């Protein structure tokens, strides 16, 4: 798969995405290899489970999380358009609370807030009828993607040097490109802090993670 090939060739094991969740206290690292595996799983799921294609669109109505990030990467691998927020789409990825409030149409995949990616039911919740439990569903699919893909460096042309970039995440597509995709395309890495964090805490994380840029 070409999506993250430039990172895999350079260093497949170095952390490329680090996610802090200040609500749960979790911190998770994802190497290029791990991101590639997740993108493959999600891409395969989008094509096979949901029967989507390059004419399809998915909506991501999720808080800042690693699950949201790998869903976007999987959609990029599969050539599927991504919208952020509660948008009309062929499939929507959302949380149980947002599902109850918005009642989206189309295929609905519910994503838990479990830091290790357990599903809704596995985390002790109840799956509403007609929805798909993202966690156990995506794990079923293979971590290799054999369809043609575009390289991330084609989708987001690199700008600047390889920085380790700290941010508090994104609220829309442009923000996701700026905080996650642009650092990865430039052969850097992204440190995302989700949840409430004051300037002192962000300074602590920046020092611990050897951050070289902040946005």
pLDDT value, residue 45: 98
Q: Of all residues in the chain, what percent carry a pLDDT higher than 70?
A: 100
pTM over 0.85: yes
Residues 6+ apart with CB under 8 A from 164: 183, 188, 189, 190, 191, 209, 210, 211, 212, 213
Can you tell me the mean pLDDT for 11-20?
98
Burial of 207 (C-beta count, 10 Å sphere; 0-12/13-18/19+): exposed
Looking at residue 91, what is its pLDDT?
Answer: 97
The answer, yes or no, to whether residue 102 has pLDDT greater than 90, is no
% of the chain exceeding 90 in pLDDT: 94
Q: What is residue 104's predicted lDDT score, i.e. its pLDDT?
A: 81
Is pLDDT above 90 for 173?
Answer: yes
List the beta bridge partners of residue 193.
20
What pLDDT was estimated at residue 126? 94
Q: What is the pLDDT of residues 53-77, one digit of tens each?
A: 999 999 999 999 999 999 999 999 9
Residue 162 is predicted with a pLDDT of 96
Q: Mean of the pLDDT values across residues 22-34? A: 96
């Amino acid at each position: 798969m070409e999506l993250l090939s430039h990172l895999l060739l350079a260093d497949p094991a170095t952390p490329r995405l680090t996610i802090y969740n200040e609500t749960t206290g979790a911190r998770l690292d994802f190497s290029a290899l791990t991101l590639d595996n997740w993108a493959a799983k999600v891409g395969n799921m989008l094509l096979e489970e949901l029967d989507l294609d390059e004419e399809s669109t998915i909506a991501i109505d999720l808080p800042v999380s690693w699950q949201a990030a790998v869903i976007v990467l999987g959609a990029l691998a599969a050539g599927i358009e991504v919208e952020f927020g509660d948008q009309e789409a062929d499939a929507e990825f959302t949380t149980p609370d947002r599902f109850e409030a918005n009642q989206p149409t189309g295929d609905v995949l519910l994503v838990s807030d479990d830091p290790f990616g357990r599903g809704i039911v596995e985390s002790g919740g109840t799956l509403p009828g007609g929805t798909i439990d993202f966690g156990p569903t995506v794990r079923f699919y293979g971590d290799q993607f054999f369809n043609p893909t575009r390289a991330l460096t084609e989708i987001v042309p690199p700008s600047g040097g390889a920085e380790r970039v700290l941010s508090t995440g994104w609220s829309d597509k442009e923000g996701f490109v700026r905080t996650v995709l642009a650092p990865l395309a430039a052969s850097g890495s992204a440190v995302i802090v989700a949840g409430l964090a004051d300037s002192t805490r962000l300074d602590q994380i920046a020092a611990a993670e050897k951050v070289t840029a902040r946005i």
